[in-house]
Structure 1
Amino acid sequence: MEHLDAAEVTRFLRGQLPPERASQVESHLATCKPCGELLAADQEVVTEVPADLEASYATGAAFAAGSDAADAAPLPSEPATPQWIKEGRAPQRGEQVGRYLVLERVGQGGMGTVYSAWDPDLGRRVAIKLLRMDKHHAEGRAMGQARLLREAQAMARVTHPHVIAVYDVGTLGEGVFVAMEFVDGTTLKKWIKEKPRPWREVLDTFVAAGRGLAGAHSAGLVHRDFKPDNVLIGKDGRIGVTDFGLARLAEEGVEPPRAALPNGTRVDESPELAQLTQEGHAVGTLMYMAPEQRRGEAPDARADQFSFCVALYWALFGVWPFERQRSSKDADYSPGSSHKGTSRPSQRAGDERPVDPSSGAFEPPSESRVPTFVRRAILRGLSPEPKDRFSSMEALLSQLEYRPRRARLVASAAAAVLLASVGGYAWYAHEAAARQALVCTGAEQKLVSVWNEAVRIQVENGLIATGSAQASEVTTRVKRMLDAYTRGWVEASTEACRATRIRGEQTEALLGLRVLCLERRLKDVKAVTDILASADSALVLKAADTVSLLPSLQACADVTTLSQVEPPPDSPQARQEIERISGQLSQVKALTDAGRYKQAAELAAPAVEAASALGYRPLEAEALFYEGSMEARSGSPVEGERHLMQSFWTAMASRNDPVMTRAASGLVFAVGFNPDRLEEALRWSEFAKAALARMGGNEELEGELFNYLGVTYTRLGKNAEALAALQQALQRVEHALGPDHVRRANILGNMGNAYRDEGKFEDSVRVITEAIGIRERLSGPKHPIVGYLYYGRAQSRVRMEDFENAEADAKRSLEIHIAARGPEHPETGDAYDVVGQVYLMSKRYPQAVEPFTKALAIKEKALGPEDEAVGYSALGLGLAHVEQGEAKEAQPLLERALKLTHDPRTQGDAYFGLARAMDAQGRKGPEVLALAQKALDAFQSVKEADSAKEISDWISQHQKPAASAKGRLETAKKEL
């Protein structure tokens, strides 16, 4: 029997295979190791959803069967209650918990049972926690459900590399489940028991877990049940705190007191696992529970500190800090006063151990090699009174951090020589800090290979050699931007190192992922500087934009997203090929941003082919994205759409969520090129939103998506929706990239258009003015985009009848376009159009003829006589002739405008102008009125009330003479 594919495995898990085939699959899985791994592991994902499987938010695949199929798809019905719930038993392999498919049970605690499960919609393995079906404690099922829900809410509240992520929470009948990140590994308790480990390794592991606990405290959470069973260690070395079922939000207010534990309550044979959940009493695990928690008092973060120190004591010394067989009478954890400073029996037979008088805990075994500073920190954390412990977990962790042997010797020597010297202590602290700082140096040296004085000179020479009048100004601006970006790169690289090597917040594996991402950013910088060094006059205008669009450095700090992507192959040859292809893709992006589409296309296709041959899907998805994006931006939307769709599905298959999001957003742009497919373009945005949700959000990518949505809504005439989307885009981009970023200026320009279409002309002028300011600072006052913004502001001011300022804006736009594009460029023709529009609207009709005539001639020569842009100039010139009483000259121009243009407003102006021109020539009333009615219908369709009223009044006036003529004819007949 051949290996199973992922789709058939999913059918098998769901019980959707025929009995005979299911039996064959089950037998095969029992003997085939690769297929068994496919079933259990998350290294493969389902990339195709069989037609008979239910649709979902992420894989409903609105485009899999075309847009008609998407429109006709019925909404999913309420899910039926699973059979295992009806039968009151635990779920078995292949049964569903929500949308998830159970694989196997992996653990059970005091509150719930944990299963590994498969998420067929998002193609990943998850951990599912269910409220235990056999739970009959006095607290009751309802309270247990509430706790499990609180666990999900608490964990979802914390975003930290050392806290396990929560994906989903749901209810099943009377039960509750939580879907969490699946960690392929073991618990901290099992890890400790596996084999003897050096104290440094144990301490470093606990410090990482403590960072997660501190992260929870920063979010206002108290765990209340920290223990080694609630810390997971992945095979990749990641350490995460979980099981926040007893956590409490600080914002919930003061917790009501609980009763102390009943007298005589004892720890069982496995004290580290005993968890008390008696109604109304203190909750937690006895062996780790802080004294105040046992007494029923409301615990705070210092109670977690106590539990942490109990666990660390046990892990380092192999014994418990307190009597194993203690009862609730020992709620203060302190021996009687007669025992202070004396010895009492430990849990080890025949062993007498001294007691630490400050904490009441046993002194750690004397033979242990654990340093004194660690012992003292732990014993302080075990103080019976919270006020005597450390002020926070961070303070405790700073004391526990491992000091290199040399630093300890320096400290000892300094203490001996400068025992009472405050200055001596300050000197030692300075020296220790200096040594620590040296741990994460070297980023500057790595940067020098890409951005150095020689490269700066090459960039400057390349731009100046173009002979462009703007080259000097642009060069200064570009070098300043590259300096800022590379300075940020050094800071990001240093911070990534510190998070692992100094603060212990992340593993070496996560540091490796961040370093790979940052090295890719250096390739992006090199690609941009190479292009600038070989600049031409056209590139001078795009130089600042090309640098502005360098990928964000923030993405390299998103360790959650980075760690979810399918890992690269281990082969050195494969890694080398990935490096080579990544460099090519950096070039493709830079060339696309610079407008060199032909060169970008020449590199993009081989990069896609090489990535596909390599078989590393995240890279293949990225290559397809850059190819598709380049095609969409260069005027090949059909090819762009095809490659962006391939990128989307390949990114989904490899869990490359950032590329999946950008591909879906790009499809909103590419599909929206076709005015007949704008609704379909909007549906792609739902896929982008799903990918963003799976990532946990990304403001930069959200800003990109909402900008595309805003433009699409504007083209649909849905101005309110457009403005709402653009406002969201503006907020996210400003927060992620800053207030002066080029993308924010672009969004403000789009908002100006949407406000104008909505009739909010003052708002339009306001946001376009802000966009002009940003663009002039970034790109210079003569950039063609600045010319476009003046063009847009002139149009809005015309509608406000602010003709003086509108004329100034229009002429400034024309001046910029002539300087940047030349006198015969079609965009210069657009600028002439807006000058003519100002004259037309201000009733200076003879002056309007000249700019419209120039615009028409420029566009006919550059674009051909049948281009839609020609129609707009023909319309303006035709209306200018109408207003001057030159109906014969106007009629062919207006008829041409109707033939070439499709915008309702343009069509309305053309129909009404033609009606007036024909009326002036004495054409028949019904024919003229029919044209006017078409104009009225066009303006009413886009809710242009003022224009519609003007045309309606005109129609009424022209109907009256016809009626009067008919009356005179009837009178004449009677007289005869």
Structure 2
Amino acid sequence: MPLACLDEPTFMDLLFGTLPSDRAALVDEHLDTCPSCRRMVSEALKVQPPTDSGQAVPEEEVLDSQLATLAVDPWRGKKPRLRLPTPPLARGTAVGRYLILEMLGVGGMSVVYAAYDPELDRRVALKLLQVEALGLGAEAGRTQVLREAQAMARVSHPHVVSVFDVGTFGRQVFLAMELVDAHTLRKWEHDGPHPWRQVVEVFLAVARGLAAAHAVGVVHGDVKPENILVGQDGRVRVTDFGLSRIMFGAVVPPVLPGSPAHPRAMEGGTPAYMAPEQFPPEERTDARSDQFGFCAALYEGLYGERPFAGATVEELSQAVHAGRVKSVPRHSGVPQWLRKVVVKGLSVKPEDRHASMEALIAALDADPAARRTRRLRVAGASLLLLSAVGLTHVLNRRDVTGCEGAARAMDGVWDASRQQAVEAAFVGTERRFAHDAFRHVRRGLDSYTAAWVTTRTAACEATRVRHEQSEAVMALRMRCLDARLADVAALTQLFTQADPDLVERAPRAVEGLTPLAGCSDVEALTSRGHSSSDDPAARDRTVALLQALVDARALRAAGRYSQGVARVEPVAQSARAAGDWSGAADALLLLAELKDGAGDYRGAEATVLQAAWTAEAGRNDDAAARAWTLAV
């Protein structure tokens, strides 16, 4: 089958010499018969740097030689490439304050390295923009790139890859960015199929990232699946804000096949996702252009094909300017209300699209079926804070002989009513990222509580079904799990009274919940030396201590350190005075952490040493190890 004109991926593979041999043969055959594609390649080759010898070669000589090779056999001898302006940086090279670790990838306009930031003790992604290869070697060009990159650094949002720092390295500009373990949305889509609701959920995160950028005056300019990352943690992030404008706005790029020759670049964007105003001769980009690209990508995610037909840029431009959106594929399963929302965002005239990205978000979030479901859920069970000690008794009373029913423990802790109350509190803060924060919290707590149910059931079955452990060991494991669930209950109760600061901290607070694995470590649990007491005063003291620890941990997670100190300090001293060394150690250790967070460093130091010696006396090895570590 004859090859169509070179698309962007094929073009870049050609320049970097990464085309597979079978594909290369087709490209070779096509270049013999297509003047526009040969012109495109020739324009790209013009920006090649001097030869390896360092001897400058006249542009015409380089171009004629390489085009002659292309005309006869593009794969005879060395493949035509755009070489890096400099060799890859060696490990340990200092770029600003950052130390190069390894190269992660090479793109048409940049090189990305993993690097180490010694000041903040963290790994970052370091993107070096190849200014020289772009024809931006002049000081004015670097100044423009630097100004655009600094604008990108103003965008701070959970669904945007963070830009930490911007600077120059020789004649290049670097961006220090969040290092994300992720793959592109394109790969996520290829790994599908995904239900339409899941696709919308992912794109809602993208839309909120774009809205945050627009709020500080930053336009992406090239919204497409390749610029959207889906992390291993499930979080969706938008990357390369403004880079399309940085990379293309000040250079004369290759003339794409089928497009009219024009003396300057299209102002960023990939043709399949470009709004009408981004095509020549208008070439302007604003927030509504991002909306168009977003809806084009969403259309593709929902229907598995792009919204406009066209084998060349010219044909695509004609379809886009005419507003000829493809008809709905058969059996897509996508509801009509959603198609209307997407097609509105693909309107030819910017003013006919959604008023803003926030308006588009509201339209996508207005699923009629979901609204009906939410109304049915508001059946309103009374809210209940479960105490750490009382939970085991309640569950055992409900289920005397079997191990079923652990999921009932979520009533009042993380059920539909509590989730609705938390969501309402978050949204009520009117913070732009409140919806995203709640989604992260919901995902994290859903995972944690599901693991809790599984672990509790397994602990019960190990004694009463498989007979692998004693009732005493099961009781220790249950007490540990009760404490973990009490932490969840206290945290979600706090979330129902969220303020803007708490909304910001909420995702990290959920991630900071104590891992459940400790409740399966029988050796560690038995070494704590817990013993029951018939003394009512001792039992009351234990309940008060555990409840105070639960409350204080939730306050610590919320950043309310002073309140946490006031909550836990009296019970810590009470437990120590009563000789409950193990319990007092837990309380003192938490008290030290709270004082440290509140800025009382001297008090924290004294308290952590007190916690360490108290833990040693109470054989609380876990608290002792953590206390000595914190003291160091």
Q: Shorter-normalised TM-score: what interval?
A: 0.5 to 0.7
Deviations 1:86-114 (A, max 9, x none): 99322244433333333333344443222
Q: What is the aligned partner in structure 2 of residue 494 from structure 1?
A: 424
Q: Map 1:586-625 onto structure 2 (within 5 A).
A: 593=566, 599-600=572-573, 602=575, 606=582, 609-610=585-586, 622-625=590-593
Q: What is the aligned partner in structure 2 of residue 319 from structure 1?
A: 305
Q: Does 1:378 align with 2:324?
A: no
**Does the CA contact (< 8 Å) of 1:259 and 1:281 recur in 2?**
no
Q: What is the aligned partner in structure 2 of residue 230 from structure 1?
A: 227
* SS of structure 1 residue aligned to 2:425: helix
Q: What is the aligned partner in structure 2 of residue 722 from structure 1?
A: none
Q: Map 1:828-907 onto structure 2 (within 5 A).
A: none
**Does the CA contact (< 8 Å) of 2:309 and 2:315 recur in 1?**
no
Deviations 1:47-69 (A, max 9, x none): xxxxxxxxxxxxxxxxxxxxxxx
TM-score (norm 1): 0.37
**Does the CA contact (< 8 Å) of 1:628 and 1:644 recur in 2?**
no
Post-superposition offset of 1:625:
2.2
Q: What is the aligned partner in structure 1 of residue 273 from structure 2?
A: 288
- Quick one: distance in 2 between partners of 1:109 and 1:278? 24
- Quick one: distance in 2 between partners of 1:224 and 1:608? 58
TM-score (norm 2): 0.54
Distance 1:554-1:382 versus aligned 2 partners, 3 A rule: closer
**Does the CA contact (< 8 Å) of 1:113 and 1:129 recur in 2?**
yes
Q: What is the aligned partner in structure 2 of residue 309 from structure 1?
A: 295
- Quick one: distance in 2 between partners of 1:645 and 1:168? 40
- Quick one: distance in 1 between partners of 2:85 and 2:245? 34
- Quick one: distance in 1 between partners of 2:245 and 2:612? 45
Q: What is the aligned partner in structure 2 of residue 359 from structure 1?
A: 323
- Quick one: distance in 1 between partners of 2:342 and 2:564? 58
Matched to 2:193, the amino acid is: P
Matched to 1:389, the amino acid is: R
* SS of structure 2 residue aligned to 1:233: strand
Q: Map 1:643-654 onto structure 2 (within 5 A).
A: none
Post-superposition offset of 1:599:
4.7
**Does the CA contact (< 8 Å) of 1:585 and 1:607 recur in 2?**
no
- Quick one: distance in 2 between partners of 1:184 and 1:156? 20
**Does the CA contact (< 8 Å) of 1:632 and 1:639 recur in 2?**
no
- Quick one: distance in 2 between partners of 1:593 and 1:320? 59
Post-superposition offset of 1:169:
1.9
Q: What is the aligned partner in structure 1 of residue 460 from structure 2?
A: none
* SS of structure 1 residue aligned to 2:133: coil
Q: What is the aligned partner in structure 2 of residue 178 from structure 1?
A: 175
Q: What is the aligned partner in structure 1 of residue 111 from structure 2?
A: 113
Q: What is the aligned partner in structure 2 of residue 198 from structure 1?
A: 195
Post-superposition offset of 1:124:
2.5
Q: Does 1:90 align with 2:88?
A: yes
Distance 1:493-1:403 versus aligned 2 partners, 3 A rule: closer
Work out which of the residue numbers 102, 118, 126 in structure 1 matches 2:124: 126
- Quick one: distance in 2 between partners of 1:155 and 1:323? 33
Work out which of the residue numbers 90, 97, 108 in structure 2 matches 1:99: 97
Post-superposition offset of 1:600:
3.3
Matched to 1:369, the amino acid is: G
Q: What is the aligned partner in structure 2 of residue 477 from structure 1?
A: none
- Quick one: distance in 1 between partners of 2:426 and 2:599? 35
Post-superposition offset of 1:244:
0.9
- Quick one: distance in 1 between partners of 2:190 and 2:331? 20
- Quick one: distance in 1 between partners of 2:274 and 2:373? 38
Post-superposition offset of 1:248:
8.2
Post-superposition offset of 1:557:
1.0
- Quick one: distance in 2 between partners of 1:122 and 1:265? 47
Post-superposition offset of 1:220:
2.5
Matched to 1:325, the amino acid is: A
Q: Map 1:227-306 onto structure 2 (within 5 A).
A: 227-246=224-243, 265-266=257-258, 279=264, 281-295=266-280, 296-306=282-292
**Does the CA contact (< 8 Å) of 2:309 and 2:316 recur in 1?**
no
- Quick one: distance in 2 between partners of 1:556 and 1:611? 23
Deviations 1:687-706 (A, max 9, x none): xxxxxxxxxxxxxxxxxxxx
- Quick one: distance in 2 between partners of 1:159 and 1:140? 30
* SS of structure 2 residue aligned to 1:221: coil
- Quick one: distance in 2 between partners of 1:370 and 1:629? 49
Superposition RMSD on alpha carbons, in Å? 5.4
Question: Higher relative contact order at CA 8 Å, sep ≥6: structure 1 or structure 2?
Answer: 2
* Identity rate, percent: 33
Q: What is the aligned partner in structure 2 of residue 211 from structure 1?
A: 208
Post-superposition offset of 1:262:
9.0
Distance 1:371-1:166 versus aligned 2 partners, 3 A rule: same
* SS of structure 1 residue aligned to 2:134: coil
Distance 1:288-1:489 versus aligned 2 partners, 3 A rule: closer
Q: What is the aligned partner in structure 1 of residue 56 from structure 2?
A: none
- Quick one: distance in 2 between partners of 1:277 and 1:149? 26
Work out which of the residue numbers 383, 396, 401 in structure 2 matches 1:446: 383
Matched to 1:505, the amino acid is: D
Matched to 2:297, the amino acid is: A
Q: What is the aligned partner in structure 1 of residue 463 from structure 2?
A: none
**Does the CA contact (< 8 Å) of 1:521 and 1:553 recur in 2?**
no
Structure 1 residue runs of 5 or longer lacking an equivalent are: 1-85, 250-256, 268-275, 336-357, 408-431, 451-487, 528-550, 613-619, 647-662, 665-976
Distance 1:108-1:573 versus aligned 2 partners, 3 A rule: same
Distance 1:314-1:121 versus aligned 2 partners, 3 A rule: same
* SS of structure 1 residue aligned to 2:333: coil
The number of residue pairs the alignment matches comes to 429
Q: Map 1:607-686 onto structure 2 (within 5 A).
A: 609-610=585-586, 622-626=590-594, 639-640=606-607
* Deviating more after overlay: 587-596 vs 358-367: 587-596
Deviations 1:897-955 (A, max 9, x none): xxxxxxxxxxxxxxxxxxxxxxxxxxxxxxxxxxxxxxxxxxxxxxxxxxxxxxxxxxx
- Quick one: distance in 2 between partners of 1:492 and 1:277? 54
Post-superposition offset of 1:360:
1.5
Q: What is the aligned partner in structure 2 of residue 535 from structure 1?
A: none
- Quick one: distance in 2 between partners of 1:607 and 1:246? 55
- Quick one: distance in 2 between partners of 1:168 and 1:643? 41
Q: What is the aligned partner in structure 2 of residue 853 from structure 1?
A: none
Matched to 1:90, the amino acid is: P
Q: What is the aligned partner in structure 2 of residue 393 from structure 1?
A: 357
Matched to 1:510, the amino acid is: V
**Does the CA contact (< 8 Å) of 2:113 and 2:127 recur in 1?**
yes
